[in-house]
Chains A and B, each alone.
Chain A
Amino acid sequence: MVSLVWLIPALPLLGFLLLLAVGPRLGEPIAGWLATAMVAGSFVVSVLAFIGLHSQPDHTTTFTLFTWIPAGRFNVDVGFLLDPLSSAMILFITGVGALIHLYSIGYMHGDKKFSKFFLYLNLFVFSMLLLVLGDNLLLTFVGWEGVGTCSYLLISFWFEKPANASAGKKAFVTNRVGDWGFMVGIFITWFTFGTIQYTQFIPVSPGAATTTATIISLMLFIGAVGKSAQIPLYLWLPDAMAGPTPVSALIHAATMVTAGVYVMVRINPMLHAASPWLPTLIAWVGVITALFAATIAMAQTDIKKVLAYSTVSQLGYMFLAVGVGGYWVAIFHMITHAFFKALLFLGAGSVIHGMDDEQDLRRMGGLRKLMPITAATFIVGWLAIAGVPPFSGFWSKDEILTYAFHQNIALYLVGLFTALLTAFYMSRQVFLVFYGKARWNDPAEPSTHEAHSDAEAAAEGAEAGAAAVATAVDAGEHHEIHPHESPWTMWVPLVVLAVFAAIAGFINLPFADSTKYLENWLEPVTGRYGAVVDYSNGTIVALLTISTIVALSGIGVAFLVYRRRKLPAAWFEPPLFLQGWHYDAAVSAFMGGPGRAGFNALSWFDRTIIDGAVNGIGALARDTGSIVRRTQSGLVRTYALAVTIGAVLLMLFVLTRVNW
């Protein structure tokens, strides 16, 4: 059963190829069902492989398809590494992926590019599986770039709007910055170990020189920062919400952004060999990103932006876990996060769908009665991310905080405060969307917001003028909205995800060794170099209690602010948070001012010196040619004379040299 592992990425690839060939002819909804079936098939194979893996020694097996690049000592295979880490990841990638495909059939109903959407989704799942299953850094990098490309295609899926197209570009360009680090990491790995295959360099990497290990880890970490949206490269993720909501759920919550965490966990023996400042740096980048993004999420008014910043924040937790040596905990949080964040995004998508594409929190309210299934499942997701026991997020987040507590009390306190903010902003969202009175036909406040966003759209590009007028007309005509529950293809995934978001924490309960199923399963990969936390049950329960109190007080404060209206909401939503600490604006200002000047200088250098050298060689050849070509008169007798003179000279030469 383990030898079937190649089928796992092959099925989505087949789906992609089929949709490429006959997608538009299949149309709606068959194209969607085909794509869903492929990913579901992948999931079934993943489960079989997971079961089969139990009988393998060390729960690890490799499977080589063919040699991809045979170049002297540099050999790269297309091969798959199925071990506890990759098997855990493919299960949730294909599982959550299949549910999101199913959901998309309902969500994308009536879209002109229906089959193209599923084509991209299948290609994305294929790339992600390649990333996780690839048994060497280069194959992982192919998947890494593949998900980046699909992300670009899907963010700007509705590219008719200039804002969407530029959001796609922003994601792509920001990721390139991180990819640079990843590539340099691959090069140095090759120079150091002479191989880029995980099974060959990972086991020997603890013996590498400290400097080398530090540089490789740092470079791969830079790549991970780009892909997993950490400070300072997080700013593409909130903009990525321009894509259709299932994309946000699949790419920007459940799978793609976890790639960076995956790579860091994969190379954990290398991190062990690196200088101690590097894991500390990773932990602080993670926890500060978590805090920073959580504060921004508190003031956002777009239902998806809140979730986007909360994703950045939760990814920060995962990096915190990596930084403090809790590698398996990072994977634990990744799995629970995949469930509850996909659930929240799909729930938000269901709300947006039911509200006729309205995304402003301030125009919702009271949806609990009109969308009961969406509301119930969303509330499960909310409790999970807020860290309320016994929902899944509670267990994984608490485990991260326990590891942080073990390492450094400051990291723990910042993490704990972030947990408070998380509970607060998620409760704010739930109260604003599902409770209170309905505000969707209430034009008072939002109209200014609309006008503002129109102004933004108008500033976006040269040809945006017409589009802005169209939007203004749209906003002006003010049609009635009648929120409604979504079709079954949309709520079935919600229910399934809600079940997992509720119970996924039970795969690892911290009280006894026998209940730590996930930690034991990941032991061959993360056990040897991970930090060991052996608190007594008393300490664990104390920490759990603190977490619970923090989560509940976050919810409590939000309840006072947004339900009871005891405290003014403005206290908690300063414009600074709404503007994201002006980070985006600062980057734009820098890149537009000194940055642009610098790039112009670089571009001048490139055009004048580099291109000049190349063009100079061309011009030299051309000019020489234009002089020499005059000898080519085309007159036969001139040529004959030249030949004769040459022959005479040759003869004279021979005559003078020969010994008579």
Chain B
Amino acid sequence: MILAATSTAVNDSGFQPYWYLILGALLFSIGAVGLLVRRNPLVMLMCVELMLNAVNLTFVTFGTMLNDIGGQVIVFFVLVVAAAEVVVGLGIIVAVMRRRPDATADDISALRG
């Protein structure tokens, strides 16, 4: 309740949510385009992270706009999933790079070493 009351107060004091949403959309698009055009697996992973965090920002913004705590709660879930995903993704990338230091995402299209 305290948190909700605070956000309402922020809203009253000239809070402009649209800037945050636009920033989120921009970040998401950069991430998506980066994922599609880059071939370095490490960079692609970073793009995925960028998209995730853009979504997080959007969630928080909408949560504040609608005065709903759920928006912030779901961010925690996204953070946890992202952390797990990074562990697995980096693990795979390290393993691939050890065997084939110059591999791109297009080179690793088959499920065999």
- Residues of A with Cβ closer than 8 Å to B? 633-637, 640-641, 644
Contact = CB atoms under 8 A, between A and B. Distances in A.
A637 B105 CA distance: 7
B36 A644 contact: yes
Contacts of B39: 637
Given A634-B109, A637-B36, A644-B32, 6 more contacts: A634-B108, A634-B111, A637-B105, A637-B106, A640-B36, A644-B36
Contacts of A644: 32, 36
A634 B106 CA distance: 8
A644 B39 CA distance: 17
Contacts of A641: 36
Contact of B35 (A633, A634, A640): A640
B64 to A, nearest CB: 22
B110 interface: yes
B50 interface: no
B62 to A, nearest CB: 15
B11 to A, nearest CB: 22
Contact of B44 (A633, A634, A636): A636
B37 to A, nearest CB: 8
Interface string B74-113: 0000000000000000000000000000000110111100
Contacts of B109: 633-636
Looking at chain B's contact residues, is the secondary structure mostly helix, strand, loop, or mixed? loop
A635 B110 CA distance: 8
A636 to B, nearest CB: 5
B111 A635 contact: no
Contacts of A634: 108-111
A635 B105 CA distance: 7
A636 B105 contact: yes
A640 B33 CA distance: 10
Contacts of A633: 109
A634 B110 CA distance: 6
Interface in B28-52: 32, 35-36, 39, 44
A634 B111 CA distance: 8
Nearest to A647: B32
B93 to A, nearest CB: 12
B86 to A, nearest CB: 16
A552 to B, nearest CB: 92
Contacts of A640: 35-36
Contacts of B32: 644
Contacts of A637: 35-36, 39, 44, 105-106
A539 B32 CA distance: 111
B36 A635 contact: no
A644 B34 CA distance: 12
B67 to A, nearest CB: 21
A640 B44 CA distance: 11
The 9 residue pairs across chains A and B that have the minimum distance between CB atoms: A634-B109, A636-B105, A635-B109, A640-B35, A634-B110, A635-B106, A640-B36, A641-B36, A637-B105
A640 B32 CA distance: 9
A647 to B, nearest CB: 8
17 contacts: A633-B109, A634-B108, A634-B110, A634-B111, A635-B105, A635-B106, A636-B44, A636-B109, A637-B35, A637-B36, A637-B39, A637-B44, A637-B105, A637-B106, A640-B35, A641-B36, A644-B36
Nearest to A632: B109
A328 B50 CA distance: 94
A635 B111 CA distance: 11
A115 to B, nearest CB: 55
A427 B8 CA distance: 119
A492 B39 CA distance: 96
Nearest to B38: A637
A633 B107 CA distance: 11
Nearest to A634: B109
Contacts of B44: 636-637
Nearest to A648: B32
Contacts of B106: 635-637
Contacts of B105: 635-637
A38 to B, nearest CB: 61
